[in-house]
Amino acid sequence: MTRADIEAFFATLAAANPHPKTELEYTNVFELLCAVLLSAQATDVSVNKATRQLFLVANTPQKMLDLGLDALEAHIKTIGLYHSKARHLLATCKILIEQFDGEVPRTREALQTLPGVGRKTANVVLNVAFGEPTMAVDTHIFRVANRTGLAPGKTPLEVEQKLLKRIPARYLVHAHHWLILHGRYICQARTPLCWQCAVASHCDFQPKTNKKSS
């Protein structure tokens, strides 16, 4: 992708969806952190189905601890890896209370001290909750970045660093959501829906003849 292609790519996505949002459901930063932790190797749909009831009874670190392991597992048992996720979540709640006054920290370094929170999860929280221009590279973003030529890389970190350099600053805050949604619904893993894609003419995946004729 050229710089002109990148500009047009994001301008098109922005025009179609000016205020993109995560598809995870939450009402406070703690709920968002929980939802992102639970979403590893799971769909947002499955997480939302479980957390709708969970957050009614446990929407703070203390309430989550009071719920206990057995009850927490019962709420999230439909989500993959729920045993380990429940343990990580309760351990996280304990740390939030003991070290952060029950609040979700606002730095990547502090977030990554929490059990089960890696760089991607920390970046999601920083971006969605606090409006930081971070780039959480999941499977969708990794695929879109490589397939389109936007930011080719062999590792999520390499792709993240390239995206932060190549995406114009005015698009960075929302770029994470635009790329995820594009990968989830259009630039799909097995068969990208190029004939439905509004940015196909700016994508390296398309044959050059198609780019010229579009």
- CATH number for the domain including 145? 1.10.1670.10
- Residue pair 35/24 in contact by the 8 Å Cβ criterion: yes
Examine the pLDDT at 21 and tell me if it is beyond 60: yes
Residues 151 and 207 in one domain: yes
Q: How many domains does the chain have?
A: 2
**Average pLDDT of the residues of the chain:** 93
- In the numeric block, the tokens 């292609």 are attached to 5
* Total-model pTM: 0.87
138 catalytic? Reply is: yes
Residues 36 and 78 in one domain: yes
pLDDT at 212: 39
Last residue of a domain, one of 71, 104, 130: 130
Which range (112-116, 151-155, 197-201, 210-214) has the least confidence? 210-214
| Domain's final residue, options 114, 130, 146 | 130
Question: What per-residue confidence (pLDDT) applies to 41?
Answer: 86
Of 171, 169, 136, 165, the closest CA to residue 151 belongs to 165
pLDDT for the residue numbered 158: 97
Residue of 44, 63, 66, 120 with catalytic role = 120
* Residues 61 and 102 placed together within one structural domain of the fold: yes
Q: Are residues 42 and 119 in the same domain?
A: yes
Residue 45: which CATH number? 1.10.340.30
Tell me: pLDDT of 210 over 50: no
What torsion do the CA atoms of 171, 161, 134, 16 make, to the nearest 10 degrees?
30
pLDDT beyond 50 at 186? yes
Q: What pLDDT, in 10s, does the model give residues 45-95? A: 999 999 999 999 999 999 999 999 999 999 999 998 999 999 999 999 999
pLDDT of residue 203: 93
| Range(s) of the domain holding residue 192 | 3-20+135-213
Residues 11, 70 share a domain: no
Mean pLDDT within 143-154: 96
Per-residue confidence (pLDDT) for residue 40, from 0 to 100: 86
Find the helix packing angle between 172-185 and 119-130, rounded to 10°.
Answer: 120
Structural domain ending residue among the three candidates 77, 110, 130? 130
End-to-end CA distance of the chain: 16
Residue 209: what pLDDT?
40
Based on the fold, state whether residues 143 and 204 are members of the same structural domain: yes
Same-domain check for residues 114 and 63: yes
My answer on whether 39 and 13 are in the same domain is: no
Give 117-145 pLDDT, tens digit per residue. Answer: 999 999 999 999 999 999 999 999 999 99
Residues 102 and 172 in one domain: no
Q: Which of 138, 162, 204, 211 is catalytic?
A: 138
pLDDT category, 206, cuts 50, 70, 90?
A: low
Can 165 be counted among the known catalytic residues? no
Amino acid, single-letter form, for residue 47: V
Q: How far is CA 70 from the centre of its chain?
A: 28
